[in-house]
Amino acid sequence: MPADRLVRVLARLSSSGADGDAARLCEVSADVAEVSGAGITLLSGDEDQGSVCTSDRVSGVVDELQLTLGEGPSIDAYREDRPVLEPDLADPVEARWFAFAPPAVAAGVRAVFGFPLHVGAVRLGALNLYRDRLGPLSDDQHADALVLAGVAARAVLLMQAQAPPGALARELQARGDHQLVVHQASGMVAAQLEVDVGEALVRLRAHAFGNDRRLADVARDVVGRRLRFTPEADPDPNPDPDPLPGDESPVP
Protein backbone atom coordinates (compact mmCIF):
# COMPACT_ATOMS: atom_id res chain seq x y z
CA MET A 1 0.00 0.00 0.00
CA PRO A 2 1.38 3.47 -0.84
CA ALA A 3 2.29 4.93 2.54
CA ASP A 4 0.69 8.33 2.04
CA ARG A 5 -2.65 6.87 1.00
CA LEU A 6 -2.64 4.37 3.85
CA VAL A 7 -1.86 7.08 6.41
CA ARG A 8 -4.66 9.26 5.03
CA VAL A 9 -7.20 6.40 5.16
CA LEU A 10 -6.20 5.38 8.69
CA ALA A 11 -6.37 8.99 9.86
CA ARG A 12 -9.86 9.33 8.41
CA LEU A 13 -11.00 6.13 10.11
CA SER A 14 -9.51 7.22 13.41
CA SER A 15 -11.08 10.68 13.31
CA SER A 16 -14.49 9.19 12.56
CA GLY A 17 -14.28 6.62 15.34
CA ALA A 18 -14.61 3.82 12.77
CA ASP A 19 -11.60 1.75 13.88
CA GLY A 20 -13.76 -0.97 15.40
CA ASP A 21 -17.13 0.11 13.99
CA ALA A 22 -18.24 -2.01 11.04
CA ALA A 23 -21.01 0.37 9.97
CA ARG A 24 -18.77 3.43 9.93
CA LEU A 25 -16.15 1.51 7.95
CA CYS A 26 -18.45 1.56 4.91
CA GLU A 27 -19.37 5.21 5.35
CA VAL A 28 -15.72 6.20 5.47
CA SER A 29 -14.95 4.01 2.45
CA ALA A 30 -17.57 5.83 0.38
CA ASP A 31 -16.29 9.19 1.60
CA VAL A 32 -12.61 8.50 0.93
CA ALA A 33 -13.25 6.97 -2.52
CA GLU A 34 -15.63 9.85 -3.36
CA VAL A 35 -18.44 7.56 -4.54
CA SER A 36 -22.15 7.42 -3.74
CA GLY A 37 -21.98 4.41 -1.46
CA ALA A 38 -20.04 1.38 -0.29
CA GLY A 39 -20.65 -2.10 1.06
CA ILE A 40 -18.45 -4.89 2.42
CA THR A 41 -19.45 -8.51 1.92
CA LEU A 42 -17.89 -11.63 3.43
CA LEU A 43 -17.57 -14.68 1.17
CA SER A 44 -16.22 -18.17 1.59
CA GLY A 45 -15.85 -20.57 -1.32
CA ASP A 46 -18.96 -20.10 -3.46
CA GLU A 47 -21.11 -18.93 -0.54
CA ASP A 48 -22.04 -15.42 0.50
CA GLN A 49 -21.50 -15.19 4.25
CA GLY A 50 -23.41 -11.95 4.67
CA SER A 51 -22.83 -8.22 4.74
CA VAL A 52 -20.39 -6.54 7.12
CA CYS A 53 -21.86 -3.10 6.43
CA THR A 54 -23.47 -0.83 3.87
CA SER A 55 -23.25 2.95 3.80
CA ASP A 56 -26.75 3.79 2.55
CA ARG A 57 -30.03 2.36 1.33
CA VAL A 58 -28.88 1.77 -2.25
CA SER A 59 -25.74 -0.01 -1.07
CA GLY A 60 -28.03 -2.23 0.97
CA VAL A 61 -30.04 -3.00 -2.17
CA VAL A 62 -26.84 -3.85 -4.07
CA ASP A 63 -25.76 -6.17 -1.25
CA GLU A 64 -29.16 -7.87 -1.04
CA LEU A 65 -29.35 -8.37 -4.81
CA GLN A 66 -25.96 -10.07 -4.85
CA LEU A 67 -26.94 -12.29 -1.93
CA THR A 68 -30.24 -13.23 -3.57
CA LEU A 69 -28.97 -13.71 -7.12
CA GLY A 70 -25.47 -15.05 -6.53
CA GLU A 71 -23.95 -12.64 -9.06
CA GLY A 72 -22.53 -9.13 -9.14
CA PRO A 73 -19.29 -7.18 -8.82
CA SER A 74 -18.40 -8.27 -5.29
CA ILE A 75 -18.83 -11.95 -6.13
CA ASP A 76 -16.77 -11.68 -9.32
CA ALA A 77 -14.06 -9.67 -7.56
CA TYR A 78 -13.82 -12.33 -4.86
CA ARG A 79 -13.82 -15.30 -7.23
CA GLU A 80 -11.35 -13.76 -9.70
CA ASP A 81 -9.25 -12.07 -6.98
CA ARG A 82 -9.03 -8.83 -8.92
CA PRO A 83 -10.91 -5.53 -9.20
CA VAL A 84 -14.09 -5.80 -11.27
CA LEU A 85 -15.08 -2.44 -12.75
CA GLU A 86 -18.29 -1.53 -14.55
CA PRO A 87 -18.51 2.19 -15.42
CA ASP A 88 -21.88 1.90 -17.18
CA LEU A 89 -24.15 -0.72 -15.64
CA ALA A 90 -27.12 0.19 -17.83
CA ASP A 91 -25.21 -0.12 -21.12
CA PRO A 92 -22.01 -2.12 -20.52
CA VAL A 93 -19.50 -2.91 -23.24
CA GLU A 94 -19.62 -6.56 -22.13
CA ALA A 95 -23.03 -7.80 -21.00
CA ARG A 96 -22.94 -9.60 -17.64
CA TRP A 97 -25.01 -9.92 -14.48
CA PHE A 98 -28.23 -10.35 -16.44
CA ALA A 99 -30.30 -10.75 -13.27
CA PHE A 100 -28.40 -8.26 -11.08
CA ALA A 101 -28.04 -5.29 -13.44
CA PRO A 102 -31.70 -4.32 -14.17
CA PRO A 103 -32.88 -4.04 -10.53
CA ALA A 104 -29.60 -2.37 -9.51
CA VAL A 105 -30.07 0.26 -12.23
CA ALA A 106 -33.69 0.69 -11.14
CA ALA A 107 -32.42 1.37 -7.59
CA GLY A 108 -30.22 4.21 -8.87
CA VAL A 109 -26.89 2.49 -9.55
CA ARG A 110 -25.13 3.72 -12.68
CA ALA A 111 -21.58 2.45 -12.10
CA VAL A 112 -20.29 -0.26 -9.79
CA PHE A 113 -16.84 -1.44 -8.75
CA GLY A 114 -15.78 -4.53 -6.76
CA PHE A 115 -12.43 -4.95 -4.97
CA PRO A 116 -11.38 -8.23 -3.32
CA LEU A 117 -10.56 -8.35 0.38
CA HIS A 118 -7.53 -10.47 1.12
CA VAL A 119 -4.67 -10.68 3.58
CA GLY A 120 -1.81 -12.56 1.95
CA ALA A 121 -3.31 -15.63 0.30
CA VAL A 122 -6.44 -15.54 2.48
CA ARG A 123 -9.50 -14.16 0.68
CA LEU A 124 -12.31 -12.83 2.86
CA GLY A 125 -14.82 -11.13 0.59
CA ALA A 126 -15.10 -7.88 -1.33
CA LEU A 127 -15.53 -4.14 -1.06
CA ASN A 128 -18.26 -2.87 -3.37
CA LEU A 129 -18.46 0.77 -4.46
CA TYR A 130 -21.31 2.25 -6.45
CA ARG A 131 -21.95 5.61 -8.03
CA ASP A 132 -25.20 7.27 -9.11
CA ARG A 133 -23.64 8.56 -12.33
CA LEU A 134 -21.84 6.60 -15.01
CA GLY A 135 -18.12 6.75 -15.72
CA PRO A 136 -14.90 5.04 -14.58
CA LEU A 137 -13.04 5.68 -11.36
CA SER A 138 -10.15 8.12 -11.62
CA ASP A 139 -6.65 6.79 -11.04
CA ASP A 140 -6.68 8.32 -7.54
CA GLN A 141 -10.06 6.78 -6.71
CA HIS A 142 -8.90 3.38 -7.92
CA ALA A 143 -5.72 3.60 -5.86
CA ASP A 144 -7.69 4.69 -2.79
CA ALA A 145 -10.14 1.80 -3.26
CA LEU A 146 -7.28 -0.71 -3.28
CA VAL A 147 -6.00 0.72 0.01
CA LEU A 148 -9.51 0.75 1.49
CA ALA A 149 -9.98 -2.92 0.56
CA GLY A 150 -6.74 -3.81 2.31
CA VAL A 151 -7.69 -1.85 5.42
CA ALA A 152 -11.18 -3.39 5.45
CA ALA A 153 -9.73 -6.91 5.22
CA ARG A 154 -7.49 -6.30 8.21
CA ALA A 155 -10.34 -4.69 10.14
CA VAL A 156 -12.52 -7.78 9.61
CA LEU A 157 -9.70 -10.06 10.78
CA LEU A 158 -9.14 -7.88 13.85
CA MET A 159 -12.83 -7.92 14.76
CA GLN A 160 -12.98 -11.69 14.40
CA ALA A 161 -9.74 -12.22 16.36
CA GLN A 162 -11.42 -10.72 19.43
CA ALA A 163 -14.35 -13.16 19.29
CA PRO A 164 -14.52 -16.40 21.34
CA PRO A 165 -13.31 -19.52 19.47
CA GLY A 166 -15.95 -20.81 17.07
CA ALA A 167 -18.13 -17.68 17.39
CA LEU A 168 -18.72 -14.81 14.99
CA ALA A 169 -17.53 -11.41 16.20
CA ARG A 170 -20.24 -9.25 17.75
CA GLU A 171 -19.54 -6.47 15.22
CA LEU A 172 -20.15 -8.91 12.38
CA GLN A 173 -22.98 -10.89 13.97
CA ALA A 174 -25.65 -8.20 13.64
CA ARG A 175 -25.27 -8.13 9.86
CA GLY A 176 -24.66 -11.86 9.54
CA ASP A 177 -27.79 -13.19 11.27
CA HIS A 178 -29.80 -13.23 8.05
CA GLN A 179 -27.23 -15.50 6.46
CA LEU A 180 -27.60 -18.06 9.24
CA VAL A 181 -31.25 -18.53 8.35
CA VAL A 182 -30.31 -18.93 4.67
CA HIS A 183 -27.93 -21.76 5.64
CA GLN A 184 -30.65 -23.40 7.74
CA ALA A 185 -33.17 -23.12 4.93
CA SER A 186 -30.70 -24.52 2.39
CA GLY A 187 -30.27 -27.60 4.56
CA MET A 188 -34.01 -28.07 4.87
CA VAL A 189 -34.62 -27.63 1.13
CA ALA A 190 -31.76 -30.05 0.40
CA ALA A 191 -33.56 -32.67 2.53
CA GLN A 192 -36.93 -31.92 0.95
CA LEU A 193 -35.62 -32.21 -2.62
CA GLU A 194 -32.91 -34.82 -1.91
CA VAL A 195 -30.24 -32.63 -3.52
CA ASP A 196 -26.98 -31.17 -2.26
CA VAL A 197 -26.95 -27.89 -0.35
CA GLY A 198 -25.51 -25.98 -3.31
CA GLU A 199 -28.43 -26.97 -5.52
CA ALA A 200 -30.85 -26.16 -2.70
CA LEU A 201 -29.43 -22.64 -2.47
CA VAL A 202 -29.91 -22.22 -6.23
CA ARG A 203 -33.58 -23.23 -5.82
CA LEU A 204 -34.02 -20.77 -2.95
CA ARG A 205 -32.49 -17.95 -5.00
CA ALA A 206 -34.62 -18.80 -8.04
CA HIS A 207 -37.79 -18.76 -5.94
CA ALA A 208 -36.85 -15.43 -4.33
CA PHE A 209 -36.03 -13.83 -7.69
CA GLY A 210 -39.10 -15.24 -9.43
CA ASN A 211 -41.39 -13.92 -6.71
CA ASP A 212 -39.59 -10.57 -6.24
CA ARG A 213 -38.73 -11.35 -2.62
CA ARG A 214 -35.65 -11.05 -0.46
CA LEU A 215 -33.73 -14.32 -0.11
CA ALA A 216 -33.67 -13.98 3.68
CA ASP A 217 -37.48 -13.66 3.79
CA VAL A 218 -37.94 -16.80 1.69
CA ALA A 219 -35.46 -18.62 3.95
CA ARG A 220 -37.40 -17.58 7.06
CA ASP A 221 -40.58 -18.99 5.53
CA VAL A 222 -38.82 -22.30 4.91
CA VAL A 223 -37.39 -22.47 8.44
CA GLY A 224 -40.76 -21.45 9.89
CA ARG A 225 -42.41 -24.20 7.79
CA ARG A 226 -44.61 -21.76 5.94
CA LEU A 227 -42.98 -22.80 2.65
CA ARG A 228 -41.94 -26.26 1.51
CA PHE A 229 -40.14 -27.26 -1.70
CA THR A 230 -41.31 -30.39 -3.53
CA PRO A 231 -39.49 -32.21 -6.37
CA GLU A 232 -42.50 -32.50 -8.64
CA ALA A 233 -44.07 -29.06 -8.26
CA ASP A 234 -43.62 -25.46 -7.22
CA PRO A 235 -42.93 -24.83 -3.53
CA ASP A 236 -45.96 -25.51 -1.36
CA PRO A 237 -47.00 -22.33 0.52
CA ASN A 238 -49.03 -24.34 3.05
CA PRO A 239 -46.80 -27.05 4.52
CA ASP A 240 -47.01 -28.89 7.82
CA PRO A 241 -49.55 -27.28 10.20
CA ASP A 242 -48.73 -26.15 13.72
CA PRO A 243 -44.93 -26.46 13.76
CA LEU A 244 -43.39 -26.72 17.19
CA PRO A 245 -41.88 -23.42 18.38
CA GLY A 246 -38.15 -23.41 17.79
CA ASP A 247 -38.25 -26.65 15.79
CA GLU A 248 -35.86 -26.05 12.91
CA SER A 249 -34.94 -29.63 12.02
CA PRO A 250 -35.11 -30.54 8.30
CA VAL A 251 -38.45 -31.82 7.04
CA PRO A 252 -38.03 -34.90 4.83
Q: What is the pLDDT of residues 95-113, one digit of tens each?
A: 899 999 999 999 999 999 9
Question: Do 141 and 42 share a structural domain?
Answer: yes
Question: Do 115 and 26 share a structural domain?
Answer: yes
Question: Do 184 and 152 share a structural domain?
Answer: no
Residue 17 CA, chain-centre distance (Å), reads 24
Domain count, the chain: 2
Q: Which of the four pLDDT bands, split at 50, 70 and 90, describes residue 169? A: low
* Burial label, 111 (beta-carbon count in 10 A; 0-12, 13-18, 19+): buried
Residue 145 forms part of a structural domain: yes
Could you say which of 140, 161, 182 is where a domain stops?
A: 161
Residue 12 forms part of a structural domain: yes
pTM over 0.85: no
Question: Do 134 and 46 share a structural domain?
Answer: yes
- What domain range includes position 132? 3-161
Residue 161 CA, chain-centre distance (Å), reads 21
Residues 6-41: pLDDT tens digits? 888 888 877 765 555 677 889 999 999 999 999 998
